[in-house]
Amino acid sequence: MRRLTDVTISSDDRPSPPRTAPARSGRPRREATVDSPRTRAEAAPRPRRRRATSTARRRLRAAVLIGLSVAVFVAAPLWAMRSGALAKARATAAADLIEFSQRAGLRVDQIVVDGRKRLAAQDLETALGIAIGDPTLGVDLAAAQTRIAALPGVKSVTVERWLPGEVHVLVVEREPIAIWQNDGRYQLVDADGMGAGDNIDLYPGLPLVVGEGAPGHAAALLAMIAAEKDLAPRVKASQWVSGQRWNIVMSGPMGDIEVRLPEDDPVSAWHELAKIEAEHKLLERKITMVDMRLPDRLVVRLPDGLDQTEKTIPNPTAHRKAPGRDA
């Protein structure tokens, strides 16, 4: 017997797997494939990658939809405002509501005005702009108040809507304290220096103030004049001079007497004039002017126009301060 030599089989020379016998049926038989652990590990994530891709697409689609919704939500009101559609819709809705309320019985059937004294009824009615039968909800209260407040002599006004059909107007008129003459025009003024109407015929006894800026100082002037009961009835008019001081026109035996008060402390000068009048009857003499602007003497003017110092009158103003800037 012959001895066989050793045979070494390498991996390349490994015999191929046995052939599988053909299937009995006519269809070709699929060969069974056995995956190695490595192949199974590599093939396993593929379904998960598909699921992750589908989830990302759904999230992207949702984000796009949300973004579009937000854009529409923000842009729609802006478009409506710029195009006027929103304002038109509101105006239409308001008009429909007012018309419906009027048909339901909310109509103005009474207008009540309180506080009117000197204000002309026709002027007030025109400024109010409301008529019986108008829809109660359609009354523009703010506009009516603005128009009435612009009338001469009105200090404040309130217009209220009292459902179902009453409009209530409360007017506070300015109380005139003087008649103001300026540039040939006459007007009533109140304590705040504001116009109180122009119907001066209703107040013939009010004092007269003259000059630009006089109404703002009228209240202090009248308080000063009223403090001297003997001088007050003789005052005919007061002129505000150069925005600084007063000239008081008073009645005298020869006609009007002009009393020139100082800019500095006119109240003290007025009291001193009352004292001089009580002791020396200065205003009963034949003079046309008394100048009290100098601190140490009085200057009087005689009817012939000559200025002189009254020597017989004591120095009643020596204790007063030196006058300030004067006209």
Q: 218 near 250, Cβ under 8 Å?
A: no
Burial state string for 133-146 with b = 16 or more CB within 10 A and e = fewer than 16: ebbbbbbeeeebbe
Q: What is the pTM of this model?
A: 0.61
CB 167 within 8 A of CB 130: yes
Q: If you average pLDDT over every residue of the chain, what do you get?
A: 77
User: Model confidence over 230-282: pLDDT tens digits?
Assistant: 999 999 999 999 999 999 999 998 899 999 999 999 999 999 999 999 998 99
Query: Do 153 and 188 meet the contact criterion of CB atoms below 8 Å apart?
Result: yes
Q: Are 301 and 307 in contact (CB under 8 A)?
A: yes
84-88, 145-149, 227-231: the lowest-pLDDT one = 84-88
Residues 55-95: tens digit of each pLDDT: 777 777 666 666 655 555 555 556 556 666 656 666 666 66
Query: Sign of torsion, CA 146 147 152 158?
Result: negative
Please report, to the nearest 10 degrees, the dihedral formed by the alpha carbons of residues 75, 76, 77, 81 taken in order.
Answer: 100
Domains and CATH numbers, the chain: 58-104 (no CATH), 105-173 (3.10.20.310), 176-309 (3.40.50.11690)
Q: Token pair of 237, please?
A: 């008019």
pLDDT category of residue 2 using cuts at 50, 70 and 90 = very low
Q: Which residues contact 288 (CB under 8 A, 6 or more apart)?
A: 252, 254, 255, 256, 257, 258, 301, 302, 303
Residues pairing with 136 in the sheet: none
